[in-house]
Amino acid sequence: MEDKIIYMPCDTVEKFMRDAFVAAGVPAEDAALCANVLISADKRGIDSHGVGRLCSFYLDRIRDGVQQAVTNVEFVRKSGATAVVDGHAGMAMVVAKKSMEYAMECARKYGVGIVAVRNSSHFGRAGYYADLAAKEGMIGFCVTNARPAIAPTFSTQNVLGTNPIAFTMPSDEAFPFAFDCATSVAQRGKIELYGRLGKDLPPGWVIDVEGKTRTDTQGILADLMKSRAALAPLGGIGEEGAGYKGYGFATVVELLSSALQQGYFLSQLTGFAADGSKQSPRIGHFVMAINIENFTDLASFKKHVGNVLREIRSARKAPGHDRIYTAGEKEYLIALEREKTGIAINTALRKMMLKVKADYKLDNWELPFTEA
Ligand SMILES: NC(=O)c1ccc[n+]([C@@H]2O[C@H](COP(=O)([O-])OP(=O)(O)OC[C@H]3O[C@@H](n4cnc5c(N)ncnc54)[C@H](O)[C@@H]3O)[C@@H](O)[C@H]2O)c1
């Protein structure tokens, strides 16, 4: 049966999330930021990292005491253009934004700024923080480690996180070059999304303990937690599709996100202690800002980026395709569309939002539905 969809304006969903965060104890300014990061994903069509995770990744963790609603961003070391930050298990959106802002401050002074973060939590889409730098005329780079999900090439065990990489560079077009993706073929959020839609996964995304691919979404979501299924690295299972390249990128991200700041890594990021009790996500990030004007004037850089992107897009098209995209372009087009249509709220999301409204006593809220 087709799932019933209700469309809600982006602003309304953002305000609902902001109020939910405030009701969970997050200070108003931080709550607005957290909601803004999540809605920025929904707006761009990254449905895996938006409102769908409000409860399971944030409100539930605050309720369970494994994540702090009030965030203490401590700069434990500052030296020249670099810093090390401890997020003290607070709201990662606040930790990552403050870290990128400091990196940008350093970049204005020295041409580059780098901040390594330990003890944070899940910050949503990595591109949000890289975009902050691009809006200020800089190149933004942001990576994070995550709980174990990817099996290294020739393994069936989930060892590495889906460790995303985000680069944003300003261009002379209406949208920047914004490359932002996981180092697995598909990230966990996409599998959760398939779960919410009741769909099986395509083959090749997940490897089981026997080394075969699996497609049963709900079973996979349960088995990922028990280490009985793992995600294939970018490039796929084995060496044929060069999965070792995705595995290599995931390892680079893991090292950048943990070694410089002496943070937690790999199996220490499951979110569970040895006795099975829940513990803080203990995630690490690494952010960098490069000030373009230290190299060339900004207008020339933007034009150069635009020229590169336009030449790429003008390449000969493959049969059956009349358009080539560059990174960030599809998200820009979807955002234009969703500004008009709003966000699709399916049954699973309605159920979650009604539960949040009841649990957090958001009595002033009139959602456009009273049942899922
Ligand atoms: N915080 C975390 O722990 C975590 C972990 C994994 C992923 N994520 C986030 O999840 C989001 C989605 O990740 P994903 O791996 O599903 O991304 P994805 O597979 O959808 O790839 C997205 C990237 O590919 C580009 N792209 C898509 N189609 C294209 C085409 N035809 N031509 C050129 N470029 C194209 C997009 O512009 C974008 O840069 C990202 O925002 C990422 O940061 C976060």
- Written as tens digits, the pLDDT of the chain (372 aa) is 678 999 999 999 999 999 999 999 999 999 999 999 999 999 999 999 999 999 999 999 999 999 999 999 999 999 999 999 999 999 999 999 999 999 999 999 999 999 999 999 999 999 999 999 999 999 999 999 999 999 999 999 999 999 999 999 999 999 999 999 999 999 988 998 898 888 999 999 999 999 999 999 999 999 988 889 999 999 999 999 999 999 999 999 999 999 999 999 999 999 999 999 999 999 999 999 999 999 999 999 999 999 999 999 999 999 999 999 999 999 999 999 999 999 999 999 999 999 999 999 999 999 999 999
Quote the crossing angle between the two packed helices 347-359 and 10-23, to the nearest 10°. 40
Q: What residue has token string 């969970």? A: 24
User: Rounded to the nearest whole angstrom, what is the distance from the C-alpha of residue 358 to the centroid of ligand 1?
Assistant: 33
Domains and CATH numbers, the chain: 1-63+342-372 (1.10.1530.10), 146-256+301-335 (3.30.1370.60)
- CA dist 257 and 156 (Å) reads 23
Ligand 1 pocket: which of 120, 125, 142, 180 to mutate (most atoms <8 Å of CB)?
A: 180
Tell which residue, 81, 82, 176, 179, has the closest CA to residue 134. 176
Q: Cα(182) to centroid of ligand 1, in Å?
A: 6
